[in-house]
Amino acid sequence: MGITSALVLYAVIWWMCFLISLPIKVQTQGDLGQIEPGTHAGAPQVHNLKRKAWIVTAVAAVLWVIIAGIILSGWISLSDMNWFDRALPPL
């Protein structure tokens, strides 16, 4: 795995974890009873984005090490996922 592949893998893992973490512990305007005129009651009031970004960075780093280790060790390869004989060219 090259440097670019490693960075792309980390970025994909980070964004997936970040998008999963967004709705966790969000306090909406409706929950707090402070609805601004013209906004939806489900709009976030307290979202803690900076804290979530730091937590996601640590979690993504751990997941990246595990996934990159699996890829680099060859434990799982493309030929293992070739269920219909379409992924690899014929020999």
Helix axes 3-21, 49-73, angle to 10 degrees: 140
**pLDDT at site 87:** 67
pTM of the model: 0.75
Q: How confident is the prediction for the chain on average, in pLDDT?
A: 86
67 within a domain of the structure (yes/no): yes
Are the CB atoms for 46 and 27 separated by under 8 Å? yes
Is 56 a domain residue?
A: yes
Total domains present in the chain: 1
Mean pLDDT of 56-77: 92
Structure confidence at residue 89 (pLDDT)? 66
Residue 90 lies in a domain: no
Residue 88 falls inside a structural domain: no
Task: Look at residue 90 in the predicted model and tell me its pLDDT.
Answer: 60
pLDDT above 90 (res 88): no
Quick one: average pLDDT of 9-28?
A: 92
Please report whether residue 87 resides in a domain: no
